[in-house]
């Protein structure tokens, strides 16, 4: 008989109250948490809702909270959840009553923190996108309209490389400031701003407009330097460090 893994899974359908369902799943080699969710959907409940697209840690759709740590479901192996090193000093996130969770034997699956749940593990990312649009996170020719091409030296690229890796998964919204301040722009949004402040292809005027946006009270000054975002980001973007860089370069030295 194949080995099995128990799951305790957050369920919330429409206006129904939150409940947790137990499932037991036969393990297969290399099974990810996302694979396990497909098993639940295929064999237990076809109405079970969660997001995914690439299944390769690229699209950022499958962010969720696994054993109280926000992670990408497609990149997390079922067999290593209980043994993998966890980020330290994370805020406690409560989605419902998990007092009967058997922490040693059950993998707890919950939605991303600090976002409203639409259904089961599907959260409303609109506030995330709204703030993301606000920092105008795209490169346009208007930003450097004197150049026929916007080339960049390898060294200049290195200054933004880490920031470019962001896949917009929303995991860094576990930040305690996001929990209490719905106006806070958010770690990913500020990391993206730093990427455009630093990009050598961006002209001075655009750079100044990004800086002036992120120096408003709902942005860099609202960060309380928890650095939770640095610890949970699955792509090593280090948004907290980006925010610190903006603060050091454009606030404290001004
Ligand atoms: S900064 Fe990291 S955690 Fe935040 S959205 Fe980007 S990839 Fe996800
Ligand atoms: S499914 Fe795309 S990042 Fe997990």
Instruction: For 14-44, give the secondary structure using H, E and C.
Output: CCCCCEEEEEEEECCCCCEHHHHHHHHHHHC
Which tens digit of pLDDT belongs to each residue from 49-79?
999 999 999 999 999 999 999 999 999 999 9
Is 168 found in the same domain as 229?
yes
| Closest ligand (CA of 72) | 2
Is 43 found in the same domain as 144?
no
**Residue-level pLDDT at 15:** 66
Which tens digit of pLDDT belongs to each residue from 133-186?
998 888 777 766 566 777 889 999 999 999 999 999 999 999 999 999 999 999
Q: How far does the centroid of ligand 2 lie from the alpha carbon of residue 171, in Å?
A: 12
Whether the CB-CB separation of 65 and 110 falls below 8 Å is answered with yes
Is 86 found in the same domain as 39?
yes
Closest CA to 188 of 132, 130, 123, 143: 132
Ligand 1 in contact with 171 (CB < 6 A)? Answer: yes
Note every long-range contact of 206-210, with CB atoms under 8 Å and residues 24 or more positions apart, other chains counting: 206/142, 206/143, 210/135, 210/136
The H or E element spanning position 127 is: helix 126-134
The Cα-based distances of 78 to 52, 71, 81, 86, 199 in angstroms read: 17, 12, 6, 14, 39
Q: Which domain holds residue 223?
A: 126-252
Q: Using alpha carbons only, what angle is made at residue 222 by residues 59 and 197, rounded to the nearest 5 degrees?
A: 60
| Closest ligand (CA of 189) | 1
Is 41 found in the same domain as 94?
yes
Residue with the nearest Cα to atom 6 of ligand 1?
166
Q: How far does the centroid of ligand 2 lie from the alpha carbon of residue 94, in Å?
A: 24
Is 48 found in the same domain as 166?
no
As a residue count, the chain comes to: 254
Last residue of a domain, one of 100, 123, 146: 123
Ligand 1 in contact with 188 (CB < 6 A)? Answer: yes
The least confident of 1-5, 45-49, 97-101, 171-175 is 1-5
Task: Give the residue, out of 63, 162, 167, with the most ligand 1 atoms within 8 A of its beta carbon, to mutate for a pocket test.
Answer: 167
CATH number of domain containing 143: 1.10.1060.10
Ligand 1 in contact with 51 (CB < 6 A)? Answer: no
Residue 51 exposure: Cα atoms within 13 Å on the Cβ side: 21
**Residue-level pLDDT at 205:** 87
């Amino acid at each position: 008989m194949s080995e099995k893994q128990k799951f305790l899974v957050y369920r919330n359908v429409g206006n129904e109250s939150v409940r947790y369902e137990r499932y037991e799943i036969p393990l297969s080699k290399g099974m990810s948490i996302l694979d396990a969710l497909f098993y639940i959907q295929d064999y237990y409940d076809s109405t079970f809702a969660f997001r995914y697209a690439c299944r390769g840690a690229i699209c950022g759709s499958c962010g969720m909270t696994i054993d109280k740590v926000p992670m990408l479901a497609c990149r997390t192996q079922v067999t290593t959840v209980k043994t993998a090193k966890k980020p330290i000093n994370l805020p406690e996130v409560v989605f419902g009553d998990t007092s009967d969770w058997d922490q040693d034997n059950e993998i707890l699956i919950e939605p991303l923190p600090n976002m409203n749940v639409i259904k089961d593990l599907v959260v409303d990312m609109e506030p995330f996108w709204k703030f993301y649009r606000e920092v105008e996170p795209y490169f346009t020719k208007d930003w450097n309209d004197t150049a026929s091409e916007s080339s960049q030296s390898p060294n200049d690229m290195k200054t933004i490389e880490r920031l470019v890796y962001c896949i917009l998964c929303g995991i860094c919204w576990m930040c305690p400031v996001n929990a209490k301040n719905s106006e806070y722009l958010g770690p990913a949004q500020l990391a993206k701003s730093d990427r455009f402040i630093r990009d050598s292809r961006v002209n001075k005027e655009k750079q100044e407009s990004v800086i002036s946006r992120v120096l408003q009270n709902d942005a860099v000054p609202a960060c309380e330097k928890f650095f939770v975002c640095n610890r949970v980001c699955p792509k090593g973007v280090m948004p907290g460090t980006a925010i610190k860089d903006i603060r050091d370069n454009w606030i404290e030295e001004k």
